[in-house]
Structures are given as C-alpha cells and as structure tokens.
Amino acid sequence: MRILDRYIAREFLRYYFLFAFFFIAIFVLTDFFTSIHNLKKEAIIFQIILYYILQIPYLFVLLSPISVIISTLFVTSYFGSTNQFQAMQISGISAKRATLPLFTAGLIIGFSLLFIDNTLVYQANRISHQIKEKNFMQIKKAEVQKNIFIAVPPDYLFYIRSLNTQKGIMQDVLIYKNSSPQTFIIAQKAEWKRKTWVLEKGRDYILKKEPEEKSFLKKIIPVDKEPRYFTRTYFPPEKMSVSELTQYIKEYRKSGFDTLDLQTELQFKFSSPFANFILMLVAIPLGIIMRRGRGASLATGLLMSFGYYQLMALLKTMGRTGAVDPFISAWIPNILFLLIGICLIYKME
C-alpha cells in the first residue's frame, strides 16, 4: 500500500505544482504588460524583477485552490479512464482507501499555506509593497487629508485638522495623553523627523487637581507611527499577517473606525487555506464519475473554481458591508462545498 500511496501522491503533486506555477506565470505576465506603462522613468530593472519574484508566494497561496481542483480532477479521471481504480478494487482496495493519499495531501497543503501566509508571504508582501511605491506610478490620492481622529495605542488620541502624508507634516494638532499624568496638548504644527514626531509652537495642559499650563516651541512625543499610519490606506489588509491584522482591528476600534472590512479579511485568512482540502472532497468523486479526458477535467476544474471564487467574493462583500457576520461570510463557501463533498464521497464506490 505504501508504494501505491506514494504513486498516487506523486502524480497529484506533480500536476498540482505544474498548474500552480502555470497560473502564477499567467498572472505575473498579465500584470506586467498591463502595468508597464506605469513604470517611473527612474525605475530600476533589478527591482522590477525582484518585485515580480516576491509576488510568487502571495499568488501561490491565492491560486492554490484552483490548482488543487484541476490536479485532483486530472489524477482521478486519468486513473478512472485507464481502469486503474478498477484494478485496485479487484485487489480489494476501495476507491475511498485509494484516494486517501489525496485527502492527506489536501490537509497538508491547507495547514502549510496557513503557516506560509503568515510568515513568508507576509514578509514578501512587505518588501514588494515598498518596491512598488518606489518604481511604479500610483493613482494619486489626495496628499492632504483633513479632520483625522485616531487613537495611537497605548496612550494617545489624536485629532489632526490637516495632514500632508508626502511631506510628513500635520497642521493644528490636538493630542490627549491618557496615561498619568493626563495631558492635553495643542500644537500648530507637527513634523515627522528621524522616526518620531516633533511638535512646534504649542501648549501643554497637565490635567491635575490644579491644572498646569506650559508653552513650548518644540516638543518630541514618543510616537513612532509614520504619516501613512494616520490614514486608512497604510498597507493592504489582504496582504497583512493574522497578528498584524488583529492589531490593526484593535487600534481602529479604539479610533472609532468601522472595522467590518478588516474583520472579514481576518476571517477569510483562516478559512481560505482549508478550501484546498474541502474543494478536494468535491473534486475526487467528481473525477471518478467523469472518467473523461484532460480537456473535460480542465474545463470542469475551471468552472468549479469560478463558482467558488465568485461565491467567496460575494460573501466577502456582504461581510464588509455588514449584511452577513464576517465569521459566517468567510466560512459559508467552505461549509457549502464540504456538505456537497461529503454527499458525493458517501455515494462514491
């Protein structure tokens, strides 16, 4: 049985990695040719190449489910069309036992991607994001944002009348420090220098039984959050790690922001890796029943993938808008396909 298990697992993994990198190549080439006109004149070729190399881990996690579906259909339909499953059954091996290596591979892939997404993918996304900002022209957003109200854990609450993210300058800043001694700070200007904020021309109001007032020309506050932190576009949530996204949710809640979009993204970070195993539950019996060529397997796999991704996109939108609880929106696609897979496997022989 070990020889048979290794044979089935090897055939599956061969197709899995083949399709994964095939789809990654399509996405990378498509993105390159659609973004080439956005390259800055001073863009460095080496950094552009590095940027697309660093996209591979993220795209691998994103496109893994479709690779699992198609490779599973390829292997099972091939074994069925060449009567290999029939030969196994004659030898006393049931179809469920014969496909056990596929189920095992699906589980390993799911847990591995959950780990990779929060380690390798997260770090690669960070670096690629920095490279993109330096080498690609972005759609210009308003450099100056107004009326920002945000908490900066653990002690500070900011109100900023005007923030220039490019220059790192705040105008008309009100800061409340909640730790002892509680302080209310008013400053005409704050500037980002040497990884800290320097306040200019302001007053300190120390809130004691007998309040004290002190004026200052310059004052450094121990806040190391760079200018983009004070906006809602600091880093794409889908490219954050679970721990960082969880921290952002806590911070934005304290700031009074709506966090439904972040909560939804967090739940999908847990549910998406396990889609690899759950979709395999549907693909295995379907491939055995089909017993057709590779063209039919590819078409069926693409159709299944399209249905899953569309359902996931719909529920993600519903979770972000509050129409459905973020936890429920993230797990409904998996639960639905899980039930379908269990029914098909129960009837599979």
Structure tokens at 5: 């298990």
DSSP 8-state class, residue 194: T
Helix (H, G, I), strand (E, B) or coil at 206: strand
Average pLDDT score over residue span 237-262: 79
Segment 204-240, tens digit of pLDDT: 998 877 778 899 999 999 888 888 888 755 567 788 8
Residue type at 89 in one-letter notation: Q
First to last CA, the chain: 19
Q: Which of 32-36, 90-94, 254-258, 325-329 has the lowest mean pLDDT?
A: 254-258
Using the predicted structure, report yes or no on whether residue 189 has a pLDDT greater than 90: yes
Segment 63-74, tens digit of pLDDT: 999 999 999 888
Give the bridge partners for 219, in sequence order.
199
The per-residue pLDDT for 197 is 93
Segment 76-130, tens digit of pLDDT: 887 877 777 778 777 777 777 788 888 889 899 999 998 998 888 888 988 988 8
* pLDDT above 70: percentage of residues in the chain: 93
CA distance 327 to 284: 28
> Percentages helix, strand, coil for the chain, rounded to the nearest 5?
65, 15, 20
CA distance 128 to 31: 14
Segment 289-312, tens digit of pLDDT: 766 666 777 788 888 888 888 999
Using the predicted structure, report yes or no on whether residue 142 has a pLDDT greater than 60: no
- Using CA atoms, how far residue 188 sits from 43, 149, 162, 185, 234, in Å, is 37, 16, 11, 10, 25
Structure tokens at 204: 């300190």
Residues 6 or more apart in contact with residue 266 via CB below 8 angstroms: 242, 245, 246, 249, 326
The per-residue pLDDT for 287 is 79
The per-residue pLDDT for 22 is 94
The per-residue pLDDT for 118 is 84
Residues 279/308, Cβ–Cβ less than 8 Å: yes
Q: What is the chain's mean pLDDT, rounded?
A: 85
* pTM for this entry: 0.73
The per-residue pLDDT for 139 is 47
